[in-house]
Chain A
Amino acid sequence: MTWWPLIKILPHKTNLHFVKYARAAGAVSVVLCIASIVACFYPGLNMGIDFRGGAVMEMTKADNSALDIGAVREAVGELNLGDVGVQGIDSAASAIVRFQVPEGEAQNAVVARVQDAINEAVGEVRYSGVSVVGSKVSGELFTSGLLALGLAIVLMFAYIWFRFEPQFGFGAVAGLLHDVILTFGLIVLFKLEFSLNMVAAILTVIGYSMNDTVVVFDRLRENLRKYKTMPLREVIDLSLNETLSRTIITGVTAVMVLAALAIFGGEALFGFSIALMFGIVIGTYSSIYVGAPIILLWGVKRGELAEDVKPVKLGMASRP
């Protein structure tokens, strides 16, 4: 069994010229980022009730018979609650109803009215989950969600600046922005619901993408010290190639596990896992094609790096 452990059949020394294609990849990234930003406004994010207020109810026919979704839609639509959505789930007996709570009306009253209307239209229904968010709270949640994303990016930048070089910081942040923007684009593309959970997913993508970037940068810094005369372009290529097997193995593990979550985790985790999965793929790509090549644009003062940067105390990575 020469093929096992499988790790042996990974090319032991890849020599891919990543940097050569960085320009083309960069162009693709820029186009995709612009498209994603545009998509966030037109057609726009599919905001969940966390961020735009309103109500979501999950319901099942009491006798588990098939639910007439059209009748539910019509009954709720007649109440003039703006923007009513009815969507069937898993079994034919269940559905999710979304509606808005008009300004100035009491939440409970509106919910009770909708439930009465549905009961009248399709017979007795059980409600397994009811969520209502007021417009005031949803506005605040949205602000703090965006604030959290912004703060995460700033902190990561500061961290990389502190641990590496400013140029590395710019590279890392460019990679992060790229990942966050493309994840947003994906959320729009797949019409996933943008909710609090989604913000958590994006924050995790940020964490993972940084994780990936740090691994590459660590090796890059080490190689810059090791090969003082090698052109920067080649050092970057070398570092990317050296970390490639790890990048692939960790990435594949994470994606497989998230795929399992998306498939078996049920309705509630689906959007969350999909966003995480694609975010991680994008994050892996960006640490190869966005983070590192950006450093090439800025250049690194090699001498400084070799002398001024003290051995890192936290770990032992820079031990000679």
Chain B
Amino acid sequence: MIQISRWKIIVLALSLALGLLFAFPNVLSPAQREALPGFLPKNALNLGLDLQGGSYLLLEVDVPAMRTKRVDNLVEDVRVSMREARININALQREPGGVVITLADQAQADAAFKALQQLAGGPNQQGVQERTATRQSGNRIRYGFTQATLDSMGATAVDQSIEVVRRRVDSTGTKEIAITRQGAERIVVQAPGQNDPAALERVIGQTAQLTFQMVDSENSVADAIAGRVPPDAQLLYGDDGVTPYLVKRRILVSGENLTRASVDSDQSGRPAIGFRFDGVGARRFGEATAANIGKPFAIILDGKVISAPRINSAITGGSGIIEGNFSIQTASEMVNLLNGGALPAPLRVEERRVVTAELGADAVAAGALSTAIGFTIIVVFMILAYGFLFGGISVIGLVLNGLLIVAAMSLFQATLTLPGIAGLVLTFAVAVDANVLIYERMRDEARAGRSVIASMDAGFNKAMGTIVDANLTTLVAAGIMFIFGAGPVRGFAWTLTIGVFTSMFSAVLVSQVMLAYWLKATRPKKLPIADSETVR
């Protein structure tokens, strides 16, 4: 083993060159990196959110709530369709995933079934029949979602929510935000440091629940403020947080019926929000406005009254504008929210972690300092323990190791987190272990009376199995962290894994090649690290 073998030198030179190549972008500024010619690697270390600052949000899609809501809409559709077909209904009985319609007149059963089949329509673009009508005994018909639709509803809702969140996030012009699915019903949003976490949370955290409700004109607002709120009304405040409004609890139309919002302007040219309802929304809005001409109604977003205009005439077209105290900016923000905001199901924030860029920078500084100190300690200790030659060789292996770790992490874009930095420092300590195992083995063999060359050879040979065994256990531990861990822990596992490979490689190969040169050059009579007594 102790010979200068050509392939070992080639491998070593190659890994040094590749290491330098892939680690190189880290010493450049982002602008310099962009300016690099295309064939050179551009990726620097990918810092985790805990190091560069940023926000992590774990959102859960409330699928059961969405199912209920979808069935609500379905029941409403049935009611409308039956009314339009002039069919009298005795009862609508809800059941999971659908509704059972009991007709007043059995003679209308055929007509009703036909109308419902029409309502169900054909298969959607994916070729899936979403809703079906089935005749039950006599005057009863069941109308509901097909099993296939019910089964895929949760997954679809999560997909749609991801879409909505992405649209909202994109519309804010923020950069490099990762939106990923986690498990069956969760979404992870990760935004790096240059983004304002508060703004991001406003955009995602806002439910964007838009409702149109009548203003309670019969009771006085002053009474309500004094604590006497009528049971069918609620006290809300305006956008300014000061102006009180007494609003009926019944919701006329909500944002779910909104098909489109746009930035518009009112008659005097101030920014306003144009909106358009879908069929159901237009009908409800038309009926409500026709019945309440002359009375004010309130447009409410997330519990705040944006405006409360008076109804001048029935609005049957299903579109209109919302006037309010908008600037172009707030109007377009709200338009984005309303357009992107048709969340199929409520999103609950289950976990959030926000780190400001300064705190991240502090962590990087602390991490860098402790890495440097840890590295120095190892260097000093190894040279003290094993001398300039053997200690020095292990230090050179360590430097190559560090270079390769940085290069590999930049290449694979593995996330470096704060625990990951700790993993890096620890990797250095354990990397030296390979050298220690080899050197100690050499000393053992020298003690047993072997020549310098024989003991060095045996040192490498016999220590190798132990080194592989010992490192495999670390790999197992890292693998488990990878499977079970989240975020920072995964970053730690990454560093540990990459470190195991690079340290086995550099510690063993570097010392083999360098010691071989040393042997050839000096032909020593005695192992410099052998016990003083064993002079041969």
B447 touches A260 (CB 8 A): no
* Interface residue? A203 (CB, 8 A): yes
Q: How far is the CB of A142 from chain B (nearest CB, A)?
A: 11
* Interface residue? B164 (CB, 8 A): no
* Interface residue? B252 (CB, 8 A): no
Count of A interface residues, CB-CB < 8 Å = 81
**Across the interface, which residues of B come within 8 angstroms of A145, CB to CB?**
484
B465 touches A261 (CB 8 A): no
**Across the interface, which residues of B come within 8 angstroms of A151, CB to CB?**
480, 484
A144 touches B363 (CB 8 A): no
A265 touches B367 (CB 8 A): yes
B469 touches A130 (CB 8 A): no
Contact with A246, one of B354, B425, B437, B489 (Cβ below 8 angstroms): B437
Interface string of B422-464 (1 = CB under 8 A from A): 1101101110110011011001100100000000000001111
Contact with A211, one of B373, B387, B464, B470 (Cβ below 8 angstroms): B470
Interface string of A29-73 (1 = CB under 8 A from B): 000000000000000000000000000001000000000000000
Given contacts A5-B384, A130-B352, A133-B351, contact A204 B469 (CB under 8 A): no
**Across the interface, which residues of A come within 8 angstroms of B349, CB to CB?**
106-108, 132, 134
Q: How far is the CB of B492 from chain A (nearest CB, A)?
A: 5
Report A1-28 residues with CB < 8 Å from chain B CB: 2, 4-8, 12-13
B381 touches A315 (CB 8 A): no
Q: Nearest B residue to A12 by beta-carbon distance?
A: B531
Q: Nearest A residue to B531 by beta-carbon distance?
A: A12
Stretch at the interface among A181-189, A193-201, A227-235, A294-302: A193-201
Report A188-225 residues with CB < 8 Å from chain B CB: 196-197, 199-200, 203-204, 206-208, 210-212, 214-215, 218-219, 222
Stretch at the interface among B82-90, B131-139, B284-292, B471-479: B471-479
Q: How far is the CB of B138 from chain A (nearest CB, A)?
A: 45
**Across the interface, which residues of B come within 8 angstroms of A5, CB to CB?**
383-387, 390-391, 528-529
**Across the interface, which residues of A come within 8 angstroms of B425, CB to CB?**
257-258, 260-261
A269 touches B430 (CB 8 A): no
Q: How many Å lie between the Cα of A298 and that of B277 in the bound state? A: 79
**Across the interface, which residues of B come within 8 angstroms of A141, CB to CB?**
486
Given contacts A250-B436, A257-B374, A266-B362, contact A196 B486 (CB under 8 A): yes
Contact with A269, one of B359, B386, B422, B468 (Cβ below 8 angstroms): B422
Q: How far is the CB of A118 from chain B (nearest CB, A)?
A: 16
**Across the interface, which residues of B come within 8 angstroms of A215, CB to CB?**
437, 466, 470
Q: How far is the CB of B461 from chain A (nearest CB, A)?
A: 5
**Across the interface, which residues of A come within 8 angstroms of B419, CB to CB?**
197, 200, 269, 272
Q: How many Å lie between the Cα of A107 and that of B437 in the bound state? A: 52
Q: How many Å lie between the Cα of A243 and that of B478 in the bound state? A: 26
* Interface residue? B333 (CB, 8 A): no
Given contacts A129-B355, A156-B473, A254-B429, contact A148 B483 (CB under 8 A): yes
**Across the interface, which residues of B come within 8 angstroms of A12, CB to CB?**
443, 447, 531, 533-534
Interface string of B20-44 (1 = CB under 8 A from A): 0000000000000000000000000
Q: How far is the CB of B379 from chain A (nearest CB, A)?
A: 11
A315 touches B352 (CB 8 A): no
Residue of A203, A245, A273, A319 contacting most chain B CB atoms (<10 Å): A203
Q: How far is the CB of A315 from chain B (nearest CB, A)?
A: 2
Interface string of B365-395 (1 = CB under 8 A from A): 0110110011001100111111100110000
Q: How many Å lie between the Cα of A149 and that of B170 in the bound state? A: 40
B473 touches A148 (CB 8 A): no
Q: How many Å lie between the Cα of A51 and that of B201 in the bound state? A: 23
B355 touches A218 (CB 8 A): no
Interface string of B204-223 (1 = CB under 8 A from A): 01000000000000000000
In the assembled complex, 11 residue pairs joining A and B whose CB atoms fall closer than 8 Å, in A order, are A12-B531, A148-B485, A199-B489, A208-B474, A211-B433, A215-B437, A215-B470, A257-B429, A260-B373, A315-B466, A316-B464
Q: What is the interface of chain A, defined by CB distance below 8 A to chain B?
A: 2, 4-8, 12-13, 58, 106-108, 126-134, 136-137, 141, 144-145, 147-148, 151-152, 155-156, 159, 163, 196-197, 199-200, 203-204, 206-208, 210-212, 214-215, 218-219, 222, 242-243, 245-246, 249-250, 252-254, 256-258, 260-261, 263-266, 268-269, 272-273, 276, 312, 314-319
Q: What is the interface of chain B, defined by CB distance below 8 A to chain A?
A: 50, 58, 60, 201, 205, 348-356, 358-359, 362-363, 366-367, 369-370, 373-374, 377-378, 381-387, 390-391, 418-419, 421-423, 425-426, 428-430, 432-433, 436-437, 439-440, 443-444, 447, 461-474, 476-478, 480-481, 483-489, 492-493, 496, 528-534
Given contacts A156-B473, A256-B381, A265-B367, 12 further A-B contacts (CB under 8 A): A8-B532, A12-B447, A107-B352, A199-B485, A211-B474, A219-B466, A249-B440, A253-B436, A254-B429, A260-B425, A272-B422, A317-B469
